[in-house]
Structure 1
Amino acid sequence: MITTAITPSFVAGAADFETTARGLRPHRLPAWVRTRFPDPQLLMAEGQPSGVRLVLSTTAQTLEVVTHSTRVVYRGADRPRGSLDLMVDAEFLQSEELTGGDYVEVDMSTGESTPFQGPSHTSDFRLPPGGKVVEIWLPHNESVELLELRADAPVAPYSSGKPVWLHHGSSISHGSNAATPSQIWPAVAARLGGVELHNLGLGGSALVDPFTAQVMRDTPADFISVKLGINVVNLDSMRLRAFAPAVHGFLDTIREGHPETPLVLISPIFCGIHEDTPGPGAIDPASFGTDQIRFTASGNPAGVAAGQLTLRVIREALASLAERRADDPNLYFLDGLSLYGAVDAEVHPLPDALHPDTATHRLIGERFAEYAFAGEGPFGQVNAAETVS
Structure 2
Amino acid sequence: MTAVTTSTQEEVTLFREMTLRFFAQEITPYYDEWERAHIVPRELWRKMGAAGLLLVDMPEQYGAAGAGFDVCQMIQEELCRLNFHGLASGYNIHSNIVALYLNNIGTPEQKEQWMPRMVTGEVVTAIAMTEPGAGSDLAGMRTSAVRDGDSYIINGSKTFITNGIHADMVVVCAKTDSSAGAKGISLFLVDASLPGFARGKKIEKMGQHCSDTAELFFDNLRVPANALLGAEGRGFAYLMQELPRERLGVAVQAIGHAQGALDLAVAYVTERKAFGQPISQFQNTRFKLAQAKTELELCRALLEKCMAKFVVDEMSVTDAAMLKFAATEMQLRVINECLQLFGGYGYTDEYPISRFYRDARIQTIYGGTSEIMQEVIARSLVGR
TM over 0.5: no
Answer 1 or 2: which has greater strand percent.
Answer: 1
Answer 1 or 2: which has greater helix percent.
Answer: 2
TM-score by length of 1: 0.29
